[in-house]
């Protein structure tokens, strides 16, 4: 039984370091967190890389869709300079690189951004002997169904956005979608949650997470209504709020 919610470093320690980089993961591992979350997309030549957006424009000096760029092009981009000159030289890592660094030191949540990549993701997880410490998460229920078919023992989480909170009926439908894809848990925008909805999930033995929680008062509110996990860009702030 947990005595406090899981604290998940969203895209690594992304509040202070360039998101989804090895540096952000390395710094997150220095904190007493429970998990790291990252995002995966596929390059033009089939390499799985760790990046949230469809394009490289926001986080690098380059431009273009990840799916239309080769790994050789992407690995030459600077993924740190937009965060600050002191981070110049950080690159977009491959999923292999991230797994080698984290290596079971904490739990890892891998968001499947593109349905159809789950087969390759599972193959890489097997190669790294990582199935026991990885949880696959996605907005795409079909991707989770596919992953669970390949590896029934793997933990999976269905993600829901703000619209999930529009009504109790919409929230209930989302929960049943999670069950239909054999997810062990859900994670939704914090605005979609209240005590009754969390209780509804707990009565059905469903683990509930919230994203993206960066304020101390939000952490305290979520803790008071029974949240199981929070994802934060500033896990240091959330850890301090829990300690208080």
38 and 110 Cβ atoms separated by less than 8 Å? yes
Rounded to whole angstroms, the Cα distance separating 189 from 129 reads 31
DSSP state letters, 16-77: TS-TTSHHHHHHHTTS--SEEEEEEEE-TTS-EEE-SSSBSTTTSS--SBGGGS-HHHHTTS
For residues 212 and 162, is the Cβ–Cβ distance under 8 A? no
Cα–Cα dist 237/103, whole Å: 25
Return the number of other C-beta atoms located less than 10 Å from residue 62's C-beta. Answer: 16
16 in catalytic set: no
Confirm if 75 and 53 have CB atoms less than 8 A apart: no
Q: How wide is the angle at C-alpha 200 spanned by C-alphas 196 and 201, nearest 5°?
A: 125
Catalytic residue among 16, 52, 65, 189: 52
Catalytic annotation, residues? 10, 52
């Amino acid at each position: 039984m947990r005595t406090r919610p899981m604290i998940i470093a969203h895209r690594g320690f992304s509040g202070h370091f360039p998101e989804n980089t090895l540096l952000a993961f390395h710094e997150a591992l220095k904190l007493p967190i429970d998990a790291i979350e990252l995002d995966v997309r596929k390059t033009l030549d089939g390499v799985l890389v760790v990046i949230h957006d469809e394009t490289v424009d926001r986080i690098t000096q380059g431009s273009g869709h990840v799916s239309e760029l080769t790994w050789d092009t992407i690995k030459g981009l600077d993924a740190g300079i937009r965060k600050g000159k002191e981070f110049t030289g950080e690159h977009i890592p491959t999923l292999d690189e991230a797994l080698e660094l984290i290596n079971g030191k904490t739990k890892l949540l891998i968001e499947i951004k593109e349905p159809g990549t789950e087969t390759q993701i599972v193959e890489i997880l097997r190669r790294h002997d990582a199935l026991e410490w990885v949880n696959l998460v996605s907005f795409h229920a079909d991707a989770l169904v596919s992953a669970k078919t390949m590896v029934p023992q793997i933990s999976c989480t269905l993600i829901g956005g703000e619209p999930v909170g529009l009504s109790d009926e919409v929230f209930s439908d989302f929960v049943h979608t999670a069950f239909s894809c054999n997810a062990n848990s859900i994670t939704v925008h914090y605005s979609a949650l209240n005590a009754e909805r969390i209780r509804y999930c707990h009565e059905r033995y469903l683990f509930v997470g919230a994203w993206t929680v960066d304020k101390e008062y939000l952490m305290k509110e979520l803790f008071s209504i029974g949240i199981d996990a929070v994802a934060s860009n500033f896990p240091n702030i959330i850890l301090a709020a829990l300690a208080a």
